[in-house]
Structure 1
Amino acid sequence: MSTHVTNESGHSWTAATRRQLERRLPWENLLPDRQPFWVGSWVYVFGVVTIAALVWVILSGTILALFGPQWWHLSSAGRFFNSLHFWSVQVFFVFMVLHLWGQYFMASWREGRAPTWMVGAVTFGVSIVAAFTGYLSQQNFDAQWIAVNAKDAVNSIGVGGFFNVLNFGQMYGLHVMLLPIGITVLVALHIVQVRMKGVVPPIADSNAVTIKGR
C-alpha cells in the first residue's frame, strides 16, 4: 500500500515556485538558439571577458588560500600563482569598467532592464571592496601601509566598529569567503536577468531582426 500523498490541485509551494520560474525564465530564454546580431558587439564581449577573468581570479585565489601567505611569499610556485591572481584581477576590473561604460552609454536600463543594470553596478561596488581586502591580505609592507591609512577613513564613515582593517584574520576571511560568494551570486543573478529580459537593443534600432545561431 502506497503512503505517498499527492496534491492534485497543484497548489503546493513547490508547484507555485515551478510555475513562477517557468513563466519568468522559460527554457527558450535560458538556453536560446537565436540571439540578436548586436550580441556580437564589443560591449558584450567585454562582459564575457569579465566573467572569464573572474573564473581565473577564483581559481588562483582558491589555490593561494589553501597554502597561505608564507607560500606565496617564499615559494616560486606561490609567487607565480600570486602573479596570476593579481593580473586576473586587473583584467577583471578593466573589462568590467569597459562593460559598464558601454552599457551606460547604451542606456541599458531601458525596457524594464533597470534591475539588471543595478545588479551590475552593485557587483562593481562589491568587487572594489574585495580588491581592497585583497590588498590588506598581502602580508607585506604595502598591506600594512594601506591598512594604517585606511583605518581613519573607515572610522570616519562610521563603519570602523563593525570590522578592523588592521585585523588580518577579518580581512582575509572577508576576502576569501564572504566577498567571493557574494560576487559569484551577483554575477549569476546578473546573467539570469540578462536571459530573462534579453540583451538591450541599440538605441537607434530597437526592432532589429535576429539571426539563427548567434
Structure 2
Amino acid sequence: MSQISTTPPAPPVLRPSRSRRFVQAVDQRLGLDALRYPVPEHANNLAWSLGGLTAAALLILIATGVVLAQFYDPTPEVANASVRTIVEDIMLGRFLRSLHFWTAQAMYVLAALHLIRVFFHGSYKRPREANWLIGVSMFGLTLLAIFTGTVLKWDQEGYEALAHNLELGKILGGAGFWFSSTFAAHTPILVRLYSAHIMLIPGLLVLLVILHALLIKKHKISSHPGLPAPAPDTPANLVSGSPVQDGPAGLAQVTTPSGETYSEAQEPFTHHLRRVGAFGLVLLAVLSAVAVFFPPPVGSTPVAGIEVTKPMWPFWWMFTLENWFGLPAILWGGLAFFLLLFAVPFVDRNPKRSWRTRPVAMTIGALVLTALIVLTILMAVTTPAAHLNM
C-alpha cells in the first residue's frame, strides 16, 4: 500500500513583473544600480540639498531656454523685437521668459548658498578639494550665463553691459581677444554671445555637474562635523556614507577615538534623489508663481552714447568698485574674488571641519561675505555713474 506524501508543495516561482524586468534589463546595460550607494541621513535636509536644487534650477533653465531659443533672433537689428514678440505673441511666451529670468537668479542664489554651506562645514577639505574647484567653476559659469542672458535682451541694460565687457576686453589686451570686434568681423558679437549662452556655457555646466556627481559618489557625501568624527583607523566600510556592516539595517556605526560609538541612518542615493526632486518641485512651483506675478519688463531698443542703467543685482558689488576705482576695478575685483575662492582648500589646511575650530578661516569668510553684501547695498542706493566715456 503506497503512502501519501505529506511534503508541502514548493511555492510557485513568481516571475518578475514586466516593468521590473524592463528595469533589470536597463540596469544590466547601464549600471543604474550603482546610484543606490548609501548616503547619510543628514544629507536629506534642505541645507545639504542645495547642490541638488541648483542642478534642478539648471534643468528648468535648459527646458525653458530650449523653447525660447526657437523664437529668439540674435541679429542686433531685430533681437529686441524678437524678445517683444516672445512676450506678446507666443503662447505662454511671457510666462516662459519670466520663469527663465527668475530661475537664473534663483540658481545664482542657490549656488552661492551651497558654496557657503560647504565652506561653513569644511566639506572642501581633503580629499574633496577638486569638487570645491568644480563648484567654484560652476558658480563662475552661472555668472557668465546671467551676463550673456542680459546682453541677449538687447535693451539699454544689455547694451551697456556689453559695452563694459568690450572695454574690459581692451584692458586685457591679447587675452581679451574674444571681446574684440576684430575677432570675427563678419559675425556680430551678439551672435557669438548667443552661441555661448545656449551651447558653450550650458555644455560646460552639464559636464561639470556630471564630474561633480561622480566625485561625490567616489568620496561619498561628507560627514556632518556636528556629529562625532570617525577614528583615523576606522575601516572604510564603517564610515558614514559607506556600505553598512555589523550594525542595524540601514545604520552606519562609527567609533570615535575615545571609544564612543554612534549610528546614523542611511538610505540609497536614489531615495535621496527623490527628496531632492520633491524640493525641486517646490522650487518650480514658487518660481512659477513669481514668474506669473512679477514678469520682467521688455526694455526698449538701446541708444548708443549714453550710460544710464544699473546691471543686474548679482554684479552690483563689482560696479560699486567701479564707482570708486574706475572701470578696471570690475576686472581686478572679480579676478581677486574668484582666485580667493579657488585658493580656499589650499590655504585652509586645518584638518578640523567644525566652524568653532577654524576661527581664522571663518573670520576671513565672514569679512568677505560682509564686504560683498555692503558693496551690493551701496550700489542699490547709488545713482549709476558713467565710466565708459560714450
In the superposition, the TM-score normalised over structure 2's length comes to: 0.45
2:178 corresponds to which of 162, 182, 189 = 162
1:136 aligns with 2:151: yes
* Counterpart Cα distance in 2 of 1:122 and 1:108: 16
1:80 corresponds to which of 95, 100, 104 = 95
- Is the CA contact 1:136–1:147 (under 8 Å) kept in the aligned structure 2? yes
Task: Tell me the SS of whatever aligns to 1:161.
Answer: helix
- Is the CA contact 2:71–2:82 (under 8 Å) kept in the aligned structure 1? yes
In the superposition, the TM-score normalised over structure 1's length comes to: 0.79
1:148 aligns with 2:163: yes
Higher relative contact order (CA 8 A, sep 6+): 1
Displacement, 1:157?
A: 2.4
* Counterpart Cα distance in 1 of 2:47 and 2:133: 17
Q: Match of 1:92, as an amino acid? A: M
- Structure-1 residue corresponding to 2:70: 66
Displacement, 1:27?
A: 7.3
Alpha carbons of structure 1 residues 200 and 73: separation in structure 2 relative to 1, 3 Å? same
Per residue, is there more helix in 1 or in 2? 1
- Structure-2 residue corresponding to 1:195: 217
1:116 aligns with 2:131: yes
- Structure-1 residue corresponding to 2:330: none
* 1:88-107 to 2 correspondences below 5 Å: 88-107=103-122
Superposed CA deviations along residues 78-102 of structure 1, whole A, max 9, x for unmatched, are: 3322111101101111111101100
Q: Match of 1:72, as an amino acid? A: V
* Counterpart Cα distance in 2 of 1:136 and 1:128: 13
Higher gyration radius (CA): 2
- Is the CA contact 1:72–1:78 (under 8 Å) kept in the aligned structure 2? no
Displacement, 1:33?
A: 5.2
- Structure-1 residue corresponding to 2:42: 38
- Is the CA contact 1:72–1:81 (under 8 Å) kept in the aligned structure 2? no
User: Mind listing any 5+ residue stretches in structure 1 that lack a counterpart?
Assistant: 1-25
Q: Match of 1:156, as an amino acid? A: I
Task: Tell me the SS of whatever aligns to 2:178.
Answer: coil
Bigger drift between 195-204 and 30-39 goes to: 30-39
Alpha carbons of structure 1 residues 154 and 100: separation in structure 2 relative to 1, 3 Å? same
- Is the CA contact 1:46–1:95 (under 8 Å) kept in the aligned structure 2? yes
Over the residues paired in the alignment, what is the CA RMSD in angstroms? 2.2
Superposed CA deviations along residues 115-163 of structure 1, whole A, max 9, x for unmatched, are: 1111111111122112211111112221111111222122212333223
1:213 aligns with 2:267: yes
- Structure-2 residue corresponding to 1:13: none
Bigger drift between 33-42 and 166-175 goes to: 33-42
* Counterpart Cα distance in 2 of 1:147 and 1:67: 22
* Counterpart Cα distance in 1 of 2:65 and 2:144: 16
Bigger drift between 167-176 and 155-164 goes to: 155-164
Task: Tell me the SS of whatever aligns to 2:70.
Answer: helix
* Counterpart Cα distance in 1 of 2:50 and 2:198: 25
Task: Tell me the SS of whatever aligns to 1:68.
Answer: coil
- Structure-2 residue corresponding to 1:179: 201
- Is the CA contact 1:96–1:124 (under 8 Å) kept in the aligned structure 2? yes
Alpha carbons of structure 1 residues 27 and 115: separation in structure 2 relative to 1, 3 Å? farther
User: Mind listing any 5+ residue stretches in structure 2 that lack a counterpart?
Assistant: 1-30, 74-80, 182-187, 231-253, 255-262, 269-390
* Counterpart Cα distance in 1 of 2:138 and 2:82: 30
* Counterpart Cα distance in 1 of 2:139 and 2:219: 21
Q: Aligned residue pairs: how many?
A: 188
* Counterpart Cα distance in 2 of 1:169 and 1:147: 12
